A and B are shown apart, each in its own frame.
Chain A
Amino acid sequence: MSATTLDTPAPSRIRLGLRAVMGVVVVVLATFPLLNMLPQDSVFHVSDFLVSVSGKWICYAILALSLDLAWGYAGILSLGHGAFFALGGYAMGMHLMRLIGPRGVYGHPVLPDFMVFLGYQQLPWYWLGFDHFAFAMLMVLLVPGMLALVLGWLCFRSRITGVYLSIITQAMTYALMLAFFRNDMGFGGNNGFTDFKELLGMPLNTGAARASLFYASLVSLVGCYLFCLWMTGTKYGRVLTAIRDAENRVRFLGYDTTSHKLFAFVASAMMAGLAGALYVPQVGIINPGEFSPGNSIEAVIWVAVGGRGTLVGAVIGAFSVNGLKTWLTSAAPDLWLFVLGGLFVAVTLFLPKGLVGLLKGRAK
């Protein structure tokens, strides 16, 4: 026996092919804001609409990546990832609200409009610090991370898995939605936050701001992708896969599976929070509707359609399902929910490995 036979083999051609697909997607997206600057009559011109809508899709792709890390790798089917996304969005929204300053309708130097309207005398303590960008960014990661830590610790420790865990995560986002709808929570009730003015000194209604946010999202997507790629490539990634397939067996090998799952769940929640934070300044609003359980489960279908357990699959799924949604909701709005429901049925029955599975099948 020679040592060379046991050397780790090079990544397979399929895997390299998928990474190439990811590269192409990123490069094509990167040209969008540039092509947007071409004259309108040019064949290569990319409309404002496409730039802004694909900016949103990039955020969704980050959310899909985070969900894929939890579901595809660690086997935690979270039906509440939308809550982490929304919490990140709210943290960013709080920062943007603080930046409005005296430019609100009521012109109060500190309090946001809705607080003046509701008769607040001073800023609630949990709003303090959000005027600093760095603090807000920290909260974007920490708030979803802490929620995931507490919820995950409670669930994983008591060995709640499978559909039980899924329903509990769904109940979590449902409860948060109800809570955020209340005015006395201090988060703007059902109107949420809107009328943002600027971010990092940059007025939000300009093309330059749109392009900057677009590139920030794209860089984040690439960063998250590389982070997940690295993570799943280490022994930790293999432990996660092993936990997904046979958690009890992993315990008997001496791994404390609770801490491993918790680590992945928290990292995933933080990524979802980041996605939400990038999303909010691009769409200009955040309200409790983002917590709706339907949003979370829609994110699950992106991952399922693309192919769970492959990072590129999650990204492709987010882009393709959302592309379809954008097209269908204008072309045939009544049909969209049938198509979405049909996607759930078709993917689970006929395409358990998603589009990427289809590609892999072709490649073989």
Chain B
Amino acid sequence: MKRTILLLFLLLAAMPARAQDAFLAALPGLGGGFGAQVEAVGQLGTLGDPRALPILTALSEGRLLRLADGTLLIRDGTRLLNAATGAPVDVAEADTQRVTINNRVRGALRGALGQLQIISPNSAERLAAADAIFRARSAENVPLLDAALARESVPEVRDRIALALAASRLVATNPADKLAGITALGETASPQARSILLEARAANPEVATQIDAAVAAIDQRLAIRRAAETLFQGLSLGSVLLLAALGLAVTFGVMGVINMAHGEFVMLGAYTTVMVQDFARDIPWLQPWSLPIAVPAAFLVTAAIGAAMERGLIRHLYGRPLETLLLTFGVGMMIQQAVRLIFGAQNREVISPPWMQGTLMLPFDIPVTANRLWILCFSLVIFGLILAAIRMTRFGLEMRAVTQRRPIAAAMGIRTGRVDALTFAFGSGIAGIAGVALSQIDNVSPNLGTGYIIDSFLVVVFGGVGSLAGTLIAAFGLGVINKMLEPWAGAVLAKVFVLVAVMAFIQRRPRGLFPQKGRAAEA
């Protein structure tokens, strides 16, 4: 290690004078035979002179030309440049000859370009270079990478350079370096590191034990990461289920009214988001606020429609759940068709605000998309608000009174009709809010809601009708179970399994799931 660093210092100190000469000396080799080309490319890469980058790029892209006297030119658009000086030259292209390369040269070029790009000021290029070097894997790159690692400040790029360094050490002849490489690779959680370790195992029987240990360490880390990833995906799916089901948990769970247009309310919430966004488009100061504004807007729109539907239609059918089911299905069908005629059948684009874009890294390198994380938090906040509204407000008290013992609530002066309308509007409004969140991850089309009604219903039933906490647990539970099953069974069968599991659960706990209270939906 010490020696490498010393060597590097020497190299760096000698660079200005020696590199110049070496650069010019290596250049003509590019115009020679394939063997000479490989050698020259290798030299240029190791030299690390930034001027070599455009030349090698031109060579790899077939833009390097040669004059009869051996001078190398680069075609840059319509101009021709002297490769050594970069100055334009006045030569007809017809007088030149394209420098051809073969696969061996191409391989050498990839490594050399990586070596050169690793010192590029652009971090994305450095990242790509680190990956290229990682793939090329040559012990010669060790000093270069060491230097690059010392300079690097972007964490993501650092990680990749370290990986490339470890991989390059793995092929070193020096056993100490090799072991250092194995150890370093074993400390990552990279499937690529795992595969090159396994590759190296056959060639290096003397370090097989160390390689096996490193592979096992990687496997363990990968397993943890996979589990954590699955957990997050499950929670994310759970939050979507929770959002979709919460409105139904109020209208069906608490009130006992089955609303098959629930999915359409979710869809209307998503379209409200689209409309708010379109409205805010031309008002610069409003634009970043369009999503937060869409939340109350969607609540009001769907709550108003819900209230109108309850007063106008549903209240005539209390105590007749099957008729209510058919009626609300018909209303949902009409809402869907109306949206289709007004907004068109195709998907509408919803722009995510900047703070919802991108990917975050949790510990263990678990990638998490920002919008999923936001929706997870959002669903919990909404859940908390609903719970508070039901437990702690006057409206919540009246709502519980009416659903539990209607005549007595009426006798105590509660206007039961008004409470019915408000409760239904409340549940519908929550569906609208869910639509705002779902517009960020699902296609906003008139069919948006269709898929959610069955899932929502299963969540509410699984959690126990009338229990909001049950809905929460059921949503996350079903989400995680679904995602755990997916790798084995595939998305569709996982869904079918979950369905069968819920049915089996109802078999075991039918009483827990059908509490006979309020106007329970019983045929």
Interfacial residues, chain A to chain B (CB-CB below 8 A)? 75, 77, 154-155, 157-168, 170-172, 174-175, 178-179, 181-182, 293, 297, 300-301, 304, 334, 337-338, 340-345, 347-349, 352
Q: Which 3 A-B pairs have the closest CB atoms?
A: A344-B330, A162-B523, A341-B333
Whether A348 contacts B523 by the Cβ 8 Å rule is no
* CB neighbours of A168 from chain B (8 A): 503
Whether B507 contacts A154 by the Cβ 8 Å rule is yes
- Separation of A158 and B502 alpha carbons in the complex (Å): 13
Per-position binary interface string of chain B over residues 308-327, scored 1 when its CB falls under 8 Å from any chain A CB and 0 otherwise:
00000100110001111111
Interfacial residues, chain B to chain A (CB-CB below 8 A)? 258, 313, 316-317, 321-327, 329-334, 336-338, 341, 454, 457-458, 461, 490, 492-493, 495-496, 499, 503, 506-507, 510, 514, 521-523
Whether B327 contacts A334 by the Cβ 8 Å rule is no
Interface of B is mostly: helix
Whether A348 contacts B457 by the Cβ 8 Å rule is no
* CB neighbours of A167 from chain B (8 A): 454, 457-458, 461
A-B contact pairs, 5 of them (CB 8 A): A175-B495, A175-B499, A178-B492, A297-B329, A340-B330
Whether B522 contacts A341 by the Cβ 8 Å rule is no
| Given pairs A162-B522, A163-B523, A348-B330, 13 additional interface contacts (CB within 8 A) | A164-B461, A164-B506, A167-B457, A171-B454, A175-B499, A337-B333, A337-B337, A341-B330, A342-B334, A343-B330, A344-B327, A345-B330, A345-B331
* CB neighbours of B334 from chain A (8 A): 337-338, 341-342, 345
Nearest CB of A to B29, in Å:
51
* CB neighbours of B490 from chain A (8 A): 182
Nearest CB of A to B513, in Å:
8
Given contacts A163-B523, A349-B316, A349-B317, contact A178 B507 (CB under 8 A): no
Nearest chain-B residue to A244 (Cβ)?
A: B523
* CB neighbours of B496 from chain A (8 A): 175, 178-179
The 8 Å CB contact of B507, one of A158, A297, A300, is A158
Nearest chain-A residue to B258 (Cβ)?
A: A163
Nearest CB of B to A258, in Å:
13
- Separation of A163 and B326 alpha carbons in the complex (Å): 10
> Which of B330, B461, B507 has the most chain A CB atoms inside 10 A of its CB?
B330
Given contacts A77-B322, A344-B333, contact A349 B327 (CB under 8 A): yes
Whether A162 contacts B329 by the Cβ 8 Å rule is no
The 8 Å CB contact of B323, one of A175, A293, A343, A348, is A348
> Which of A165, A168, A171, A293 has the most chain B CB atoms inside 10 A of its CB?
A171
- Separation of A342 and B373 alpha carbons in the complex (Å): 41
Whether A160 contacts B523 by the Cβ 8 Å rule is no
Whether B322 contacts A338 by the Cβ 8 Å rule is no
Given contacts A167-B454, A341-B330, A341-B337, contact A162 B322 (CB under 8 A): yes
Whether B337 contacts A179 by the Cβ 8 Å rule is no
* CB neighbours of B514 from chain A (8 A): 164
* CB neighbours of A162 from chain B (8 A): 321-322, 521-523
> Which of B324, B326, B336, B521 has the most chain A CB atoms inside 10 A of its CB?
B326
Given contacts A160-B506, A338-B334, contact A344 B495 (CB under 8 A): no
Nearest chain-B residue to A347 (Cβ)?
A: B326
Nearest CB of B to A174, in Å:
6
